[in-house]
Amino acid sequence: MSMRAKLAYLLCLLIFFVAGLWAASQDFWQAEKPNPYATLGGEFTLNSANGEVKLSDYKGKLVALYFGFMSCPDVCPTALSSLAAAMRSLDKAQQSQIQPLFISVDPARDTLENMAAYTTYFHPSMLGLSGDLPYLEQLTRQYGAYFRHIPMEDSALGYTVDHTSRIYLIDREGKLITTIPHATSVTDISAQLQQYL
């Protein structure tokens, strides 16, 4: 082997070695990134039209949770419609592994019976839940969400509710794994649901 060939061979080895070190360092730093949801989420107990419901009741399923209110004119219906459409894009077996939950942050107006009709309009397996206001305030903080009742003096409604509009995905063990921002496409929501099934 000529000197030039040896040098070329050594150079190739060096390039592969450096590339391997770079790739390994990327994996290391990727693994070291903290999970932004590690301290969020967790168990809760709320009421439905059929009685008390706990998050742990759905252990073994992927839970898709949304905080909102029934009088919401557009944001909530859009988000719930997108979630429902994403679920309908999956096959029946996949859909059976997902539990969609709508948690009302307007318990004074959203009765459990009305919520049952409201949620099944979007998807037959979607469940409407709520609780008392102090508990809902604590729960939204627990999930990194927020809501605020805003007076509307010139409206028959009396007030509206400003709130986070995200879908919270909770894995089969009850841990919050990610959130899906408002206005995410149905295709992308469907892809994320499949990713975590």
- Residue ranges of alpha helices (H) inside the chain are 3-32, 75-88, 92-95, 112-122, 133-142, 186-196
Read off the tokens for 50. 């059929």
pTM: 0.82
- What does the pLDDT average to over 15-27? 47
45-196 folds as: Glutaredoxin (3.40.30)
Structure confidence by residue, pLDDT tens digits, 101-129: 999 999 999 999 999 999 999 999 999 99
Write down the pLDDT at residue 4: 58
- pLDDT value at 32 more than 70: no
CA distance 163 to 71: 12
Write down the pLDDT at residue 157: 80
Structure confidence by residue, pLDDT tens digits, 41-66: 999 999 999 999 999 999 999 999 99
CA distance 53 to 51: 7
Dihedral sign, Cα of residue 92, residue 93, residue 94, residue 95? positive
Stretch among 4-18, 47-61, 150-164 having the lowest mean pLDDT = 4-18
Read off the tokens for 83. 């979630």
